[in-house]
Every structure is written in C-alpha cells, then in structure tokens.
Amino acid sequence: MNRPLGLGANVNYMISFVLFWAGSLPFLWFAPQQMRHLFTVKAFVAPAGGIALFAWSIARAGGVGPIVHQGATASGSKLAWGIVAGIMSAISNFATLIVNDPDFARFAKTPGAAIWPQGLTIPLGFGLTSFIGIIAGSSSAVIYPDIGAVWNPLDLLRNFAIGRVGTVDERGSAGARAGVFIIAATFVVAQLGVNIAANSISAGTDLTALLPRYLNIRRGSYICAIVGIAICPWQFLTSSSNFTTYLSAYSVFLSSIAGPMIADYYFVRKGYLQIRDLYNAESSGPYFGILGIQWRGWVAYICGIIINVVGFAGAVGTPVPIGADYIYRLNFFSGFIVSAGVYWLLAKFFPMPALSPTGSWFEVGDEVRNPSLVYGSDADAHEARERMGYATEESMESGEKRGWFRAGKF
C-alpha cells in the first residue's frame, strides 16, 4: 500500500485523496449559509485535534525537543530575508481568503460585524497552528532519532499508529491506533472546512459572476472539484520547496487582484457605490467599461504580475538578477503595492464615472439591503424576486429558491 505510483504519491495517499475528494462532493450541494453548522463544529473539533497531537508529541518526547533550543544558523541580512520569506509564505497561505473574503463577509449582519472576529481569529488561528506544528515536529526528533524530525503531521500520526521504533515498524497498541483515528478524524473535519471555504465556495462565487445565467455557487463548486483533481495537486507536495514555490505563486497572481480591489473601493471611489447600476448590464452603465472590461483593472493586474514574474522564474530554477530575487521575496507586498498604485494613477489620469459625489468618504449603509434601491420600486423588486425564483424578501436573503434548474436548485 505504500509503494510509489510514479505520480509523486504513494498508493495509500492516493486512496486517501480520492476518498476525501469523493466525500467532499455532497457538502458542495448546500448553500454557504447552510454550511455554518459545519464551521461551528470545526471551530471546536479542529483545535481539540491539534492540541491533542501537541500534547501527545510532548509526552512521548519528554519535552519540546531540541529545535526550540537551537541557536540561529543565519545572521545579518540572511536572517532578515529568512524572516521575510517566512512572512510571505504565511501570507501566501491565506492569500485566497484575502481576495475572497467578501464571499463570506457578505453574510454578516452589519458591514462591520466581520472585522473583529476575523481580525482576532485569523492571526491567532494561523499562529497557534504553526506553533503546534513546530513543537510536534521538534518533539518527533527526540522520539525518532534515527529518522530525524517528522514535519508532516500525517506522517507523525502514521508513526504513532504503527508503533515505529527507530527505523523499524512494529504493531502499535490499540489505544494508540484509536487515538490516531480520533485525531485524524478531526483533521478531516478541519480540512473539509478549509476546502469548502477557501476553494469551493470562492470558486463557485467567481464563476457565478462570470456566467450568472448558467452558473450558480453550487455548479461552480462542482466545476472547481473537477478541476481540482485534474491538475494533480499531489505533485505540489513532492517536496517542501515545491510546496513553498506553489504558495508563492498564489502571491504573484492574487496580490495583483487585491491591489486594484482595495484601491478602487477605498481610494478611488471612497466607498461610494451606485447599487442599482451594479446590476445594469447595458453598455451605458457606469461599471460596464469597454466591451464589459474594466481596462484599468487589467493594466494594473498585469503590472503587478510583471514586477514579480522575473523573480518567480528564479524561484523555479532559472538564473535571474539578484535585484529581481529581492523583489520577489516581497512578492505579495510588491505585487499589491504596484497594482494598487498603477490603478490609482490610471483613475487619476483617466477618470471613471460613479465616484463619490462629495469627493470624500461616502459609503452606502444598511439601505443596501433594500431591494427597491436596486430595482427602483417595490413592484419591480417583487417582480425581480419572482423572476429569480425567490418567494419573499426573507427567502431572497437566505438564498432559498423555488424550482429546479432555472431557479438554481442545481
């Protein structure tokens, strides 16, 4: 079961991958607001599993291991750039969440209700997870001195389950196997939540925006699932360098999306949106652009990629100038700043419509929830709800539609 397939993975890992992929498919059927119960369970289960692995590793090693007591192996600029690389890897790890945050923040009761929960839980959650991983890996160096530190928690759990002693696999105790099963189950729940939140719903929302007549979040999520297995993601995990390079690619492309988004809302439009025109597909609409394309955003996006693309080539093995390498080490910041700056300059030299009428901050408040603001009258709002398959304004907010294919039941 542990023999290689020649695909960058072993048989047991491929079986696990296919089982998890297939098991995730039923959860893609439900609307985002219906998945809140899964995330509630995940909020309790995932930390418990991580803390259990943390405590188990320390108990077996009799301490936190040698790594936390080791001195720095780098100094000066090398140490500084190493810290920067770690920060960029951490940002890359949730770059998709940065760009797709509105997919979930829009369900908040008020625009500001999502600020503190995310502002506290995201850095604390990522920090605690990283700390647990480092300590567990350090402890494994004491538990398995013949093979060294085990940084993959799944490999560490496997060693616990089989009762590995040095380089020899022995049959683990029933209690150890039961403990591994429980912790592994919490990891499954945690990964399921991450997969749905960071991948499926986000992709479904973006695809819905591209083809709203034919796609909804559910259909887009299933398309994402098919593409996700077609790109052979296990190839990214063949080595730690492949994985970090893959993460840095996120920063190259997503930072250039985040930059124009922030610049447009906060610095160009200053929070002002003409809600009704957001739903206007006519060429005369202020958000239509040229042939439906906002060329300023595309130019800014390409500029944000160009600043990093040479350094990215160096990251995959091509010799590049040292300056490009330094810029790439700041990949998310450089892409974000350049793309945002270019977008802001283009908006200054080539003004766009639908800007703040006062020239200062002019954000739409709670009235955005009123469908009449979009459709012009209560009668038009009711007709629009009926056309989209919603029975009432309440069902429109909850996403409960009528019908099957036309109303988006699939």
Average pLDDT, the chain: 82
Question: Degrees (nearest 5) of the Cα angle 55, 174, 21?
Answer: 75
What's the pLDDT at 224?
93
Tokens 């909020």 correspond to what residue? 43
Question: What pLDDT shows up at residue 120?
Answer: 87
> Which of 2-6, 83-87, 260-264 comes out lowest in average pLDDT?
2-6
**Positive or negative CA dihedral for 345, 347, 348, 349?**
positive
Report the pLDDT value the prediction gives residue 20, as an integer from 0 to 100: 92
Q: Is the pLDDT of residue 317 over 50?
A: yes
pLDDT at 408: 46
Reported as a single tens digit per residue, the pLDDT across 94-134 is 788 888 888 878 778 777 788 888 888 888 888 888 899 99
- String of DSSP letters for 320-351: --HHHHHHHHTHHHHHHHHHHHHHHHHHHHS-
pLDDT value, residue 244? 66
Domains and CATH numbers, the chain: 1-238 (1.10.4160.10), 239-369 (no CATH)
pLDDT at position 182 is: 94
Instruction: Please give the Cα distance from 362 to 270 (Å, whole number).
Output: 6
The stretch 144-162 carries a mean pLDDT of: 86
- What does the pLDDT average to over 17-27? 93
pLDDT tens-digit map of 250-296: 788 899 999 999 999 999 999 988 888 887 888 888 999 898 889 99
The two three-digit tokens of residue 183, written as one number: 């912790």
* Contact of 15 with 234, CB cutoff 8 Å: no
pLDDT for position 222: 95
As a whole-number percent, the residues of the chain with pLDDT over 90 amount to: 30
Q: What is the pLDDT of residue 269?
A: 94
Lowest model confidence (mean pLDDT) among 104-118, 200-214, 225-239, 396-410 = 396-410
pLDDT for 383? 58
Which residues make Cβ contacts (< 8 Å) with residue 363, sequence separation at least 6? Answer: 270, 271, 272
Beta bridge partners of 168: 165
pLDDT at 187: 94
Compute CA distances 215 → 212, 258, 291, 314, whole Å. 5, 24, 21, 38
**Could you give the 3-state DSSP secondary structure of residue 208?**
helix
56-68 pLDDT tens trace: 999 988 888 888 7
Q: How sure is the predictor about 168, in pLDDT bands with cuts at 50, 70 and 90? A: very low
Give the residue-averaged pLDDT of 6-19: 78
Banded model confidence at residue 399, pLDDT cuts 50, 70, 90:
very low
